Structure 1
Amino acid sequence: MLQGKVWCLRLLPIPLLIIILAAYNCSYGVLDRYRILNLSWKPTKVVCNDWITQQKWESLNFKINKTTKLFLKLEDFFWKEYVSQLPLPYGIKGSEQMLLKILAATESSDMPAHIENLECRTCVVVGNGFAIKNTSLGSIIDKYDVVIRLNDAPVRGFEEDVGKKTTMRFFYPESASSNPGLHNDEDTLMVLVPFKPQDLRWLKEILYDEKRVRKGFWKPPPLIWLGHSSKVRVLDPHFMHWTAKKLLQIPEQNGFHPTTGILAVFVALNYCDVVHIAGFGYPPKRNQLQPIHYYGSHTMNSMKNSPHDVSREGRALKRLENSGALAYLHPHL
């Protein structure tokens, strides 16, 4: 009997060792999944060859040509017939003349050549959500080829969590910062997402220094905008249309349209080989006092009359994550 107990004690370390190794591997996998195990991690071509990107397009429930140009170009209106059956935000019907003037005043070219010519584009879309706060992801975010930011989300003072680099910033007049130079790089592309004709009118008035008309906005946009015309781009509404129709499957005429954030994710999926996201997700609806941004003091109360279906967008992001089309840089609900 005594010998049996001795043998049991001798064997006890073995199952304990197995449990410890299993726990370690599990934690390693979780941490590696969210890219926070090694802060020196650098996205490289290697990640473009893994099973996630190989199966990404087969697993998605939408099809779109990856060679589609992101921005509207002046030549679209002169060298070929640009036919659109839909008005903004899903098409340019009725806004052609304003767009002609805007595109004539901007370079309206493609992405920078050093990004266009990459064999493998690694991209991160940085959302404005509270989830990115205190993550210390800044150094990782700055290593991606393309960093997409949204609206007027600040960078200065938040670099440790959100990074410094900005390749593109998606915005609309109400979300525009008067001086883009404060929170963007010198070569950041300022990408206008036109939701309505007034958005194009605002940009035209800015570019041509015309009298500002303030009607038609839910929030007064800047009367003076210091963005440089050579860095201005207008996103093709084609992407907004397919984000709503294919990704979110929003029923027509229901009054909702995609947020700038989910739109940026869709654009990244069609332009980049590897897509990671951070700062996405809203607090539970029951917690109306929870901050929704990593900056400022807005809470879920401010979303009461929103024209966006954030629950639908959350489910879409979950499907994309489960399919391997994208990955989060931090744990999330």
Structure 2
Amino acid sequence: MSNNIWFQSLDLKEQHPQSEVVFLMQFFSSSIARTTKLFLKLEDFFWKEYVPLKGARLPYSIEGNALQLRKLIISNSSFILLLSLECKRCVVVGNSYAIKNTSLGNTINKYDVVIRLNNAPIRGYEEDVGNKTTIRIFYPESASPDPGLNNEADTLMVMVPFKSRDLRWLKEILYDEKRVRKDFSNPPTLIWLVDSSKVRVLDPHFMHQTANKMLHIPFPPNKGRRYFHPTTGLLAVFVALNYCDVVHLAGFGYPPRKNLQQPIHYFGQHTMKAMMHSPHEIGREGQALTRLEEIGALMYLHPHL
């Protein structure tokens, strides 16, 4: 049963406070239909129905990037294929420290679709995070040099284009062109041992809808206000809510900001101190996920902060 059908079958007025009912109605009534393309296709550059968001650039619109994308898509027919997630049980596995010592690995492996984020490792952490990966959502700076180490052979590598140079990086990789790293604050890998047939580019429309529908971030941003983008984790949740029948989460939840020494991830050494200048509104994201959890749109597999 789809999230939309599930929503319509509930007597929400009796089961949830009015504020939660309004939130659910706003989210699912404006969510992306399952017929909406998940990945960019060649037709995006010829069909008149593709209307860029006025004044928007990446990560919310392909405006100004058609030439780079067209070369990528034309040269690689795999970009034209769509992923069908009908009637699927999905789990989005975040990178939070909250998943550590949960022993959820076997449970995660049983889902139809397992979505992972960025360069989060699997090897050595299988007991807690499992080893099945259907989709890995990433951006160039979070690409692992050898995806085969922590993904399966048929894992879809879905790139989120935050900026034009992200598309340039992908083109240079797939065409084996000279790499240009100077425009990146955190240079991405120069070697990416990936099967190009398993690479996709996420339609920026999903990023805009995540920001607009889940976080209610105004666009264009208010003058003088620092602009925040949704995290890849929240973006993955939005994709799952629109394409999956059941959505569960694992590895989501940040510790309180005041505890700057608390580890963020189940791997590595980063602590909350690294989040002090984050380009994301993690508090707002946490509130959105909490509301969705409270109304039963998604469920966590473990206790979370």
Instruction: Report the TM-score when normalising by structure 1.
Output: 0.80
CA shift for structure 1 position 210: 1.1
Counterpart residue number, 1:100: 70
1:161–1:155 CA distance, 2 compared to 1 (3 A): same
Tell me which of 255, 269, 276 is aligned to 2:241: 269
Measured against aligned partners, the alpha-carbon deviations of 1:230-255 in whole angstroms (never above 9, x if no partner) come to 00000000000010011101133241
Q: 1:260 to 1:53 in 2, by over 3 A?
A: farther
Moved more, 62-71 or 132-141: 62-71
Q: How is 1:53-202 mapped onto 2 (pairs within 5 angstroms)?
A: 54-55=9-10, 59-62=24-27, 63-64=30-31, 65-78=33-46, 80=48, 82-85=50-53, 86-106=56-76, 107-111=78-82, 116=84, 118=86, 120-202=87-169
How far, CA to CA, are the matches of 1:50 and 1:133 in structure 2? 34
Tell me which amino acid in the other structure corresponds to 1:66: R
CA separation of 1:140/1:49 partners in 2, compared to 1, >3 Å: closer, same or farther?
farther
Q: 1:250 aligns with which of 217, 222, 226?
A: 217
Max Rg structure: 1
Q: By how many angstroms is 1:256 displaced?
A: 0.5
Shift of 1:305: 1.3
* Alignment correspondent of 2:201: 234
Deviation at 1:83, TM superposition (A): 2.8
Gaps in structure 2 of 5+ consecutive residues:
13-20
Counterpart of 2:259 in structure 1 is 287
C-alpha deviation, 1:50, in angstroms: 9.9
| Deviation of 1:275 (Å) | 0.4
Listed as ranges, the gaps of 5+ residues in structure 1 are 1-44
State the one-letter code of the partner of 1:73. Answer: K
Q: SS at 1:280's partner residue?
A: coil
8 Å Cα contact 1:127-1:261 kept in structure 2: yes
Count residues in correspondence.
Answer: 284
- SS of 1:108's partner is helix
Q: Give the root-mean-square deviation of aligned CA atoms.
A: 2.2
Deviations 1:65-123 (A, max 9, x none): 222121011133245553313210101000111100111232114355xxx375x2110
* Contact kept? 2:39, 2:79, Cα under 8 Å: yes
| Superimposed CA distance per residue, residues 291-327 of structure 1 (whole angstroms, 9 cap, x where no aligned partner) | 0000011000111111100000000000111121100
Change over 3 Å in CA distance of 1:53–1:110 after alignment to 2: farther
Distance, in Å, in 2 between the alignment partners of 1:273 and 1:117 is 9
Q: Which amino acid aligns with 2:117?
A: L
CA 1:110–1:54 in structure 2 vs 1: closer, same or farther (change >3 Å)? Answer: farther
Deviation of 1:53 (Å):
8.6
- The CA distance in 1 between the partners of 2:170 and 2:236, in whole Å, is 20
2:3, 2:297 within 8 Å by CA — same for their partners in 1?
no
Deviation of the 1:152 alpha carbon: 0.1
C-alpha distance in 1 between matches for 2:25 and 2:176: 44
Whole-Å Cα distance in 2 between the matches of residues 186 and 202 of structure 1? 22
Percent identity of the aligned residues?
65
